[in-house]
Amino acid sequence: MKALYFMAPQQIELRAELLPDLAPGQLLVQTLVSGISPGTEMLVYRGDMPPSVQTDATITALAGEMRYPLKYGYASVGQILEVASPDHAWWQNRRVFSFQPHQTHFLATPDQLIPLPDDISPEQAIMLPNMETAVNFVMDGQPLIGERVAVFGQGIVGLLTTALLAQFPLANLTTFDNFPLRRTASLHAGAHQAVSPAFLKSPTSSYDFPSPLFDLTYELTGSPSALDDAIAVTGFDGRVVIGSWYGQKRAPLDLGGYFHRARIRLMGSQVSTLAPQFSGRWDKARRFEVAWEMIRRVGPEKWITQTFPFEEAGAAYALVDQHPDSTIQVVLNYSP
């Protein structure tokens, strides 16, 4: 097999490794496609991840600290090549999703695999983690009928969140992003208007705020400086859901003026767990079911902007890093 390793900032390496023999209960999976996360993986690629943080303690394949050299990635779709036990014959040749690093093959147990529904393509299935994240954001924000909602950041997670929010009877859904490509995609996802955040600081801007300001705002840019803008457009007693992971990036925040008197609530939202108020009726399996259904409705594969052979992964990461204006979702393809 070959596996992708992050070796140092802006440096990746494809390493040949020997797959161990199948142990009882394991299955051998050949990867078909995997998705590059332009948020979390860019922290790793650029060296902005905090080294003391676990990659994800809830996912077996991602156990360990974020230190170079590091295998990382969490959106792999593959096909079962071999099963170790006759009890698992049902899995043979099935297409599956798994939270796995980028590599040509991997071993997994059935509890680490999610069978693809028959009507879901591999290119759609790589969107499952980000769609689950978007579902989690909407659940945590709890938008209400007639509310005014803003979403900062229209990368793939922001677009998926916008597409879900567009299904609610909102009074206004406004998105903010620096890049025209993503603002256009945002309008197609259902936003009422898509605005450059630079307009917020321009005295000659023609952008009209809702009156009063937004009831619910999402900060999904990955840039901590955007939190000030998110707070500034949120109305009295409004909610700001912070879905970004900033890693080691820092920015000064102005919390001594408007924020202090406006009773704005800042809410952290992260997909590894469910908010306690949902735990009586919801679990991750139910949330995955919703995510699959939202993938069917939204068709997020239309936001795949580039596909690279796995052997050209270095070029793929450089493009995501250096040209966010021309990328939304970049995919690695493992076909020979």
DSSP 50: -
Within this chain, do residues 169 and 267 fall inside the same structural domain, yes or no? yes
Quick check: is 247 in a domain?
yes
Within this chain, do residues 50 and 179 fall inside the same structural domain, yes or no? no
Is 62 within 8 Å of 106 (Cβ atoms)?
no
Supply the CATH number for residue 108's domain. 3.90.180.10
| Total domain count, the chain | 2
Within this chain, do residues 136 and 190 fall inside the same structural domain, yes or no? yes
Examine the pLDDT at 336 and tell me if it is beyond 70.
yes
Within this chain, do residues 42 and 106 fall inside the same structural domain, yes or no? yes
The pLDDT of residue 257 is: 85
Dmax (CA) for the chain in angstroms is 70
Q: What is the pLDDT of residues 172-216, one digit of tens each?
A: 999 999 999 999 999 999 999 999 998 887 766 666 666 669 999
Within this chain, do residues 272 and 314 fall inside the same structural domain, yes or no? no
pTM of the complete model: 0.94
Which residues, in sequence order, are bridge partners of residue 329?
304
Give the mean pLDDT of 157-179: 97
Is 28 within 8 Å of 93 (Cβ atoms)?
no
Examine the pLDDT at 57 and tell me if it is beyond 60.
no
Quick check: is 235 in a domain?
yes
Please give the residue range of the domain that contains residue 33: 2-126+300-333
Q: Angle at Cα 110 formed by Cα 102 and Cα 112, nearest 5°?
A: 40
Supply the CATH number for residue 185's domain. 3.40.50.720
- CA torsion, ordered 152, 290, 25, 336, to nearest 10 deg: -60
Within this chain, do residues 322 and 270 fall inside the same structural domain, yes or no? no
Question: Which phi-psi region, left, alpha or beta, contains residue 23 (left: φ > 0; alpha: ψ -120 to 50)?
Answer: beta
Within this chain, do residues 175 and 158 fall inside the same structural domain, yes or no? yes
Within this chain, do residues 156 and 200 fall inside the same structural domain, yes or no? yes
Within this chain, do residues 99 and 80 fall inside the same structural domain, yes or no? yes
Quick check: is 292 in a domain?
no
Examine the pLDDT at 65 and tell me if it is beyond 90.
no
Within this chain, do residues 237 and 309 fall inside the same structural domain, yes or no? no
Quick check: is 164 in a domain?
yes
Within this chain, do residues 118 and 211 fall inside the same structural domain, yes or no? no
Quick check: is 281 in a domain?
no
Is 5 within 8 Å of 12 (Cβ atoms)?
yes
Within this chain, do residues 183 and 272 fall inside the same structural domain, yes or no? yes
Cα 82 to the center of its chain, rounded Å:
30
Give the mean pLDDT of 28-40: 96
